[in-house]
């Protein structure tokens, strides 16, 4: 019997506002426990929340970027449950009238298939606090309590782990592009829960869903889904039933285990928050926010392929962040040559340096016009790629132009045929054994001879010309 998984994701995106959703406390990460607190976010009796306008606007931008409808009339509700890190005994969230609803996110799978995942809702809510466990004692840190979140709930439209993985990746990139969150999973500004069920392949009826929590990396999402899908299939094959529940993913064992039986909406006793008035939004205001949206990752990815004739792989890498995409386009603007050459240099040399130095493109000292000038020097045969790679670290360290370094170090490529021919003759005289090997049919030794010529010319000889001259001399 063949089974297929059905997956929906609930993603919490922490908005990068300076202050919390309903008070003026800072949202700064990594400060002393309970330093960013006040009577409002600690749930003291008699206090009144006040909505953060920046959080509202950023939440609307989230909805617009996900092709959602934005509600002209929305309200906040109290979601009641008891937990030590929830000081009020309820969370201010949204229930039946979410801010954003009926959207979708489109992305491309590695095999070229276009996937569209529908979004049920993307609503605004406050975060709870955090429990810090030390031996048999647990401490409550309320710095995170009241921090603004957007919860993005998808339909169960994903039918394998890869679709869930690339959906989350595209969603994460989209949030970074529109500037509403740093979406750092390690710091908790992007959190994902998965609703998973399995069914016989070909069935249209959904199986019993299980919610999985505590997946704080893309790798853990993949591992948790792999384990849970196998677990549910195993139960069904043994004739047992899957229980609807919430499970936690254990990083150490790579397994999920029961946390609690799954609550229904009625268990939370939702009701409208009496301290917060409804939010009324007119279309003019919503449209003014829509104009602030940049070109989104998937749109940019498609444009890079069509406009610059880039391979899909290059376009995907270059559009992963808005800053890297902008850097690429700025180089192309200054270069005027083949955009693929720009792509090659950025992906091989620039990204390698950034990865090794653990830096972002915004911290890179070499400006786009300097990369363009370096590529021009190669196109004009003033330097070869070996010299370009030799001087690139100096460009990074000193922020000097390539032409300046080439001039200072006397690295202009030798393209004089007579001069190169003399070096080639000398190399052939000094390596008579290799010449004999070549003439006996072992033509691959020409690579060694080219290397010797390059060495004698201190890397300045034009490699193409060296190859041509050596071939003529060896075959004459």
C-alpha distance from residue 159 to each of 3, 9, 410 (Å) = 10, 12, 60
CB distance 167 to 154 below 8 Å: yes
Confidence bin at 387 (pLDDT 50/70/90): confident
C-alpha distance from residue 45 to each of 40, 82, 87, 89, 433 (Å) = 9, 17, 11, 12, 93
What count of other Cβ atoms lies within 10 Å of the Cβ of residue 148?
Answer: 27
What tens digit of pLDDT does each residue of 408-423 get?
877 775 666 777 778 8
pLDDT at 60: 98
Cα R_g (the chain), whole angstroms? 30
Instruction: Give the alpha-carbon dihedral of 251, 252, 256, 261, to 10 degrees.
Output: -80
CA 230 to chain CA mean position, Å? 28
- Whose CA is closest to 438, among 465, 471, 405? 471
Q: Can you tell me whether residue 293 is helix, strand or coil?
A: coil
What tens digit of pLDDT does each residue of 8-34 get?
999 999 999 999 999 999 999 999 999
Report phi then psi at 190, rounded to 5.
-140, 115
**Element housing 100 (H / E):** strand 100-108
Distance CA 97, CA 116 (A): 24
Write out the DSSP string of 164-191.
HHHHHHHHHHHHHHTTS----TTTTSEE
Angle between helices 368-379 and 322-335 (to 10 degrees): 40
Distance CA 293, CA 178 (A): 6
pLDDT at 22: 98
Whole-number average pLDDT of the chain: 93
What tens digit of pLDDT does each residue of 37-50 get?
999 999 999 999 99
Whether residue 440 is predicted with pLDDT greater than 80 in this model: the reply is no
* Exposure letters 414-435 (e unless 16+ CB within 10 A, then b): bbeeeebbebbeebbeebeebb
Over residues 276-292, the mean pLDDT reads 97
Q: Can you tell me whether residue 325 is helix, strand or coil?
A: helix
Over residues 181-206, the mean pLDDT reads 93
pLDDT at 388: 93
Per mean pLDDT, which range of 53-57, 83-87, 340-344, 463-467 is the poorest? 463-467
Distance CA 118, CA 104 (A): 4
CB distance 101 to 153 below 8 Å: no
Quote the DSSP letter at residue 262: P
Distance CA 224, CA 254 (A): 7
Q: What is the domain partition of the chain in residue ranges?
A: 3-290, 297-409, 417-475
What tens digit of pLDDT does each residue of 316-335 get?
999 999 999 999 999 999 99
The tokens 């200054």 sit on which residue? 334
Distance CA 12, CA 209 (A): 19
What count of other Cβ atoms lies within 10 Å of the Cβ of residue 121?
Answer: 23
Whether residue 392 is predicted with pLDDT greater than 90 in this model: the reply is yes
- Whose CA is closest to 475, among 443, 433, 432, 429? 443
CB distance 3 to 198 below 8 Å: yes
**Element housing 469 (H / E):** helix 463-475
Over residues 209-221, the mean pLDDT reads 92
- Whose CA is closest to 34, among 83, 85, 68, 93? 85
Instruction: Pick one of 3.40.80.10, 1.10.10.10, 1.10.10.410, 2.30.42.10 as the CATH number of 417-475.
Output: 1.10.10.410
Whether residue 373 is predicted with pLDDT greater than 70 in this model: the reply is yes
User: Quick one: CA dihedral 13, 19, 20, 26, positive or negative?
Assistant: positive
- Whose CA is closest to 166, among 325, 7, 307, 351? 7
Which long-range contacts link 132-137 to residues 24+ away (Cβ below 8 Å)? 132/33
What tens digit of pLDDT does each residue of 155-179 get?
999 999 999 999 999 999 999 999 9
> What are 150's strand-pairing partners?
13, 124
* Position with higher pLDDT, 382 vs 219: 219
pLDDT at 416: 62
Confidence bin at 35 (pLDDT 50/70/90): very high
Over residues 465-474, the mean pLDDT reads 81
C-alpha distance from residue 202 to each of 160, 236, 327 (Å) = 14, 16, 46
Whether residue 265 is predicted with pLDDT greater than 70 in this model: the reply is no
Report phi then psi at 378, rounded to 5.
-70, -40
């Amino acid at each position: 019997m063949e089974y297929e998984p059905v997956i929906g994701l609930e993603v919490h995106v922490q908005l990068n506002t300076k202050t919390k959703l309903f008070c003026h406390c800072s949202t700064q990460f990594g400060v002393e426990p309970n330093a960013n607190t006040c009577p409002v976010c600690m749930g003291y009796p008699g206090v009144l929340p006040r909505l953060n306008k920046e959080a509202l606007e950023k939440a609307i931008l989230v909805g617009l970027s996900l092709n959602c409808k934005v509600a002209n009339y929305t309200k906040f509700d109290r979601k009641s449950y008891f937990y030590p890190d929830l000081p009020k005994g309820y969370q201010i969230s949204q229930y039946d009238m979410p801010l954003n609803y009926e959207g979708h996110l489109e992305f491309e799978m590695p095999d070229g298939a276009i996937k569209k995942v529908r979004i049920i809702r993307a609503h605004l809510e406050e975060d709870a606090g955090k429990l810090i466990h030390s031996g048999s004692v647990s401490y409550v840190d309320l710095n995170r309590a009241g921090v603004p979140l957007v919860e993005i709930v998808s339909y169960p439209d994903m039918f394998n782990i890869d679709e869930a993985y690339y959906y989350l990746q595209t969603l994460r990139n989209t949030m970074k592009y529109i500037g509403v969150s740093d979406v750092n999973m390690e710091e908790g500004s992007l959190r994902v829960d998965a609703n998973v069920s399995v069914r016989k392949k070909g069935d249209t009826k959904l199986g019993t869903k299980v919610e999985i929590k505590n997946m704080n990396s893309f790798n853990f999402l993949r591992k948790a889904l792999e384990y849970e899908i196998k677990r549910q299939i195993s139960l069904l094959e043994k004739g047992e039933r899957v229980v609807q529940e919430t499970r936690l993913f254990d990083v150490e064992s790579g397994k999920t285990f029961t946390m609690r039986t799954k609550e229904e909406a009625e268990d939370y006793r939702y009701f409208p928050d009496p301290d917060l008035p409804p939010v009324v939004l007119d279309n003019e205001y919503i449209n003014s926010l829509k104009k602030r949206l940049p070109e989104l990752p998937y749109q940019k990815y498609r444009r890079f392929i069509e406009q610059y004739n880039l391979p899909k792989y290059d376009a995907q890498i270059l559009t992963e962040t808005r800053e890297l995409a902008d850097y690429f386009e700025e180089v192309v603007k200054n270069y005027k040559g083949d955009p693929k050459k720009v792509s090659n240099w950025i992906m091989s040399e620039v990204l390698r340096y950034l990865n090794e130095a653990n830096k972002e493109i915004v911290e890179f000292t070499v400006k786009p016009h300097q990369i363009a000038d370096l590529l021009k020097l190669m196109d004009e045969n003033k330097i070869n790629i070996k010299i370009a790679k030799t001087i690139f670290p100096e460009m990074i360290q000193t922020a000097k132009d390539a032409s300046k370094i080439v001039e200072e170090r006397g690295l202009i490529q030798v393209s004089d045929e007579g001069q190169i021919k003399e070096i080639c003759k000398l190399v052939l005289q000094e390596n008579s054994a290799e010449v004999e090997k070549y003439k006996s049919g072992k033509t691959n030794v020409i690579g060694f001879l080219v290397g010797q010529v390059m060495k004698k010319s201190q890397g300045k000889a034009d490699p193409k010309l060296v190859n041509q001259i050596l071939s003529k001399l060896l075959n004459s």
